[in-house]
Structure 1
Amino acid sequence: MTVLLLLFAASFSIVPKQAEAATDPLGINAEAAILVDAETGAVLYEKNADVILGVASMAKMMTEYLVLEAIENGKITWEQEVRINEFVHKLSGAPGLSNVGLTQGENYTVKELYEAMAIHSGNAASVALAEVIAGTEKNFVTLMNKKAEELGLKDYKFVNSTGLNNSSLLGNHPAGNPDEENIMSARATAKLAYHLLKDFPHVLDTASQPSLKFRDGREYKNFNWMLPTLIFEYNGIDGLKTGSTDFAGYGFTATAERNGQRFISVVMKTSSQQERFAETKKIMDYAFSNFGKEEIVPKEFQVKKNESLPVVKGKEDSVEIYTKDPINMVIKNGDIENYKTVLTLDKEKLNKNGELVAPIKKGDKVGTLTVVPKEGESLGFLTEEGHKSIVVDVITADDVEKANWFVLMMRGIGGFFGDLWGSVSSTVKGWF
């Protein structure tokens, strides 16, 4: 569809993408990092966000997604019992791995296994859940990669349900090479977290628990040490997933909410457990100190010098136009002057002279309005739906009835004689 672009500089802001800087403006000690608005997926900060790295147990967010989806669809239930087989039992006791001990031949509910996975990053519990959903972990890995494609993650490869190196799976790796791991970019990891929170917000009911009291009588701590009561407690943090292997380093996908504003951050390949939390704190401090949600474009906003469109064959010769809805956005404090509106008129609604043709009804859509940086590129959004959140319809403000045949005829006659008189006047002027 051909469109007509009308630009109007105004005081609107989203975070602009600067030219590749030699240094990271936040000084984040991580191979890759990203910060996004959890509501719209607007990217507010990034560092090497498209570099593909080991994701470790942050991959369990995909396992969580598929478990919650299976429950929502009625394929499994929270109270469904799962009998532990020999492999899952042995994996639950493997040295050096995060686990809750699972007894061979004993039944555990889906809820117990999910809590063990989501709170204490239980690897054997992850495999048991994968098997109950897909029959085998190999089949489950196929589902993981398929769902990643559906969610538009782009940069990813899943080879197991846990995030472990395949070499840690007691010779029973489900996909990939014997020493392969799950890989993702920081952007893909944030996008997975974004969809997990959007589609299953109750994921935080479990992710926010600082510890798990299991049936064996033991209490298992959450590896997210930024939760309340834990050693790196941070105001507002209530999820989401940590991960670490030799290949991936230490990573953390965090989410925090204060005063109705929620952010998601990802740090990948830091050097220690402490560093991943320290760097997350830097990012979250930056988010809560520098960004807030504002109404950027009000409802019924009119672009200067484009407040109306001409109308033909109507009782009126023009009609006012304005935005149907407001545009609300998370913007950086003090950056409000850095953006302009873009009005896009739908040429299919206009004749060749750029006019609307009566009759017109109040509320007819004639185009869209969005905002863009005055200079450079914006950091954009994780999803197309997010981008649509800053695009609003432009509509007609009033009805314009079609003029009756007599009025149209008289206008035609007037136009004819007006053209004729103009021609005669020009000719007469040429005589002198």
Structure 2
Amino acid sequence: MLLGLLPGLNKAHAEDILNINADAAILVDSETGKILYQKNADKVLGIASMTKIMTEYLLLEAIEEGRVKWDQEYAVSEYVWKVSQDRALSNVPLRRDGSYHIRELYEAMTIYSANGATIAIAETIAGSETNFVKMMNEKAAELGLKDYKFVNSTGLNNRDLKGTPPAGGPEEENVMSAKDTATLAKVLINRFPEVLETASTPKKVFREGTDDKIEMENWNWMLPELVYGYEGVDGLKTGTTDFAGYCFTGTALRDGNRYISVVMNAKGDNGQATYKSRFDETKKMFNYGFSNFTKQEILPENYQVKGQKTVPVVKGKEDKVKIVSKNPIEMIVKNGEKENFKPVLVLDKKKLNEDGELTAPIKKGDKIGYLTIESPEDGKLEFLSEKDKGNIQVDVVAAENVEKANWFVLMMRSIGGFFGDVWGSVSTAVKGWF
């Protein structure tokens, strides 16, 4: 009863149901952005190499817009050469006098989290990493992210960069909330699904057939072919620094349902952080999602809300018009909770007069408003953003034509209305005498 009276406690309880051992975590439906589980999802924390999700987005956008080409060659800068030689970091060493295609640098970044290759991509897109960092922060704002700060393109601590950092202080790192990290992953996957073809590659040889060849094993060990393989996992990005801890943005597809997960500074049950911790905690969330949620039709096409099946009409041959939903409302729902959701009809006030009436003529299919759903239970309908809430809205349209009445009918109605008003006044007066 106390949990019901205190919504804050109820929400906290909901967040603890999986006992995720991480500073922050979130699980969302990739199609609608509906949140299935969250823990400290708005807390701003280090993201380490999960940063590269943004770098991937900006590269794929540049490719799409023709500003960068896959076969474009990059000549290695002194800065990139120095960073790429540090094998204590994740890297494929690049030759000082070398020339590399953008596609192989992209593969090294996405599969092997190669930091030198990542900076090379940043320089290709923006001319310098400093300019690229500005683009990252601007794109984050454009995408509606709220809690973030980018100071480099890789996710490294600035002290690991060779020279003056592109932005921020000498010990700064990139930070973001779990919710914003999931939002960025959702935008990337939905706009550029081809990223998963590379992100799901378990192993690849960089510069195969040359003296510079390097075996690249994907750091995402939840890919089905690797040591902690999980059915359906095909992305997306790990991250590790002393500041951020062990982090992972994962995504998995089963039976047509795709989920996105984020864990930040994951730890084991004993409180110790290990490389495996992030995958164990991610597995908990994926098991929860795939075992307990399914996509269901909440309201069918041509649905009519009880008590609101028609809207009154003026100046028409009929005095009302039937309205229906244009499409069904479908959503990922926890098993057994479909009946918790109730329809909500919202009419377009701009199309109604002050008496709440539509004015004829009305054509079949004209949009009258929209239909959505709500839940009386706290936390059942949370989304990554306000924009995502539109995924559970469908148009409500007129189900039939209502022609405008001709002048004679309108005149007779007006006369009838006049005498009706007069008779009503007389009748009231006469009743008053007695």
Q: Which band: TM-score by shorter chain?
A: over 0.9
Which structure 2 segments of 5+ residues have no match? 1-6, 267-272
- Which residue does 1:261 correspond to in 2? 257
Worse-matched range after superposition: 38-47 or 277-286? 38-47
Separation (CA, whole Å) in 1 of partners of 2:107 and 2:333: 36
5 Å matches for 1:8-407? 19-22=10-13, 24-215=16-207, 216-270=212-266, 271-407=273-409
Task: Supply the RMSD in Å over aligned alpha carbons.
Answer: 1.8
Verify: 1:408 aligned to 2:399, yes or no: no
Identity %: 61
Specify the SS of the correspondent of 2:146. coil
Deviation per residue, 1:162-211 (Å, 9 max, x gap): 10001111333211000100001001111111111111110011100011
Distance 1:86 1:422, change over 3 A: closer
Find the counterpart in structure 1 of residue 269 from structure 2. Answer: none
Q: Which amino acid aligns with 1:212?
A: K
TM-score, normalised by the number of residues in structure 2: 0.92
Tell me how far apart the structure 1 counterparts of residues 70 and 433 of structure 2 sit (CA, whole Å): 96
**For the Cα contact (< 8 Å) 1:38–1:264, is it kept in 2?**
yes
Separation (CA, whole Å) in 1 of partners of 2:144 and 2:310: 39
Q: Aligned partners of 1:352 and 1:219: how far apart in 2?
A: 71
Going from structure 1 to structure 2, the CA distance change for 1:297 and 1:248 (only over 3 Å counts) comes to: same
Task: State the 1:355 CA deviation.
Answer: 1.8
Once the two structures are superposed, what CA deviation does each residue of 1:98-146 show, in whole Å capped at 9, x if it has no partner?
A: 1112111011111111111110110111111111211111111111111
Q: Which amino acid aligns with 2:139?
A: K
Rounded Cα–Cα distance in structure 2 between residues aligned with 1:306 and 1:41: 29
The code of the aligned residue for 1:258 comes to R
Summarize the Cα distance change of 1:223–1:317 in structure 2 as closer, same or farther, 3 Å threshold: same
Deviation at 1:54, TM superposition (A): 0.3
- Measure, in 1, the Cα distance between the counterparts of 2:122 and 2:354: 60
Contact kept? 1:18, 1:376, Cα under 8 Å: no
Aligned to 1:13: none
Which stretch shifts more, 311-320 or 241-250?
311-320
SS of the residue 1:272 aligns to: coil
CA contact (8 A) 1:18 1:377 kept: no
The answer to whether the Cα contact below 8 Å between 2:245 and 2:265 also exists between their aligned partners in 1 is yes
Instruction: Work out whether residues 17 and 376 of structure 1, in 8 Å CA contact, stay in contact via their aligned partners in 2.
Output: no
CA deviation after TM superposition for structure 1 residue 18, in Å: 7.5
In 1, Cα distance between the equivalents of 2:323 and 2:148? Answer: 45
Q: By how many angstroms is 1:368 displaced?
A: 1.4
Instruction: Report SS of the residue matched to 2:12.
Output: coil
C-alpha separation in 1, matches of 2:368 and 2:71: 53
Distance change >3 Å, CA 131–CA 429, structure 1 → 2: closer
Question: Match of 1:282, as an amino acid?
Answer: K
Instruction: Count residues in correspondence.
Output: 417
Higher relative contact order (CA 8 A, sep 6+): 1
Shift of 1:398: 1.1
| Cα displacement (A) at 1:151 | 1.0
- Give the unaligned 5+ runs of structure 1: 1-15
Q: Distance in 1 between matches of 2:148 and 2:113?
A: 20
Secondary structure class of the residue paired with 1:230: coil
- 2:11–2:378 CA contact under 8 A, matched in 1: no
Distance 1:104 1:318, change over 3 A: same
Match of 2:421 in 1: 419
What is the distance in 2 between the residues matched to 1:253 and 1:397? 45
Q: Any conservation in 2 of the 1:160–1:174 contact (CA below 8 Å)?
A: yes
Residues 17/339 of structure 1: CA separation in 2 closer, same or farther (3 Å cut): farther
3-state SS in 2 of match to 1:196:
helix
Q: CA-to-partner distance for each residue in 1:231-271, whole Å, 9 max, x for gaps? A: 00000000000000000000000011012111100000112
Q: Which amino acid aligns with 2:218?
A: N
CA contact (8 A) 1:17 1:378 kept: no
Query: What is the distance in 2 between the residues matched to 1:412 and 1:279?
Result: 71
Following TM superposition, by how much is the alpha carbon of 1:378 offset from its aligned partner in structure 2, in angstroms? Answer: 4.4
TM-score, length of structure 1 as denominator length: 0.92
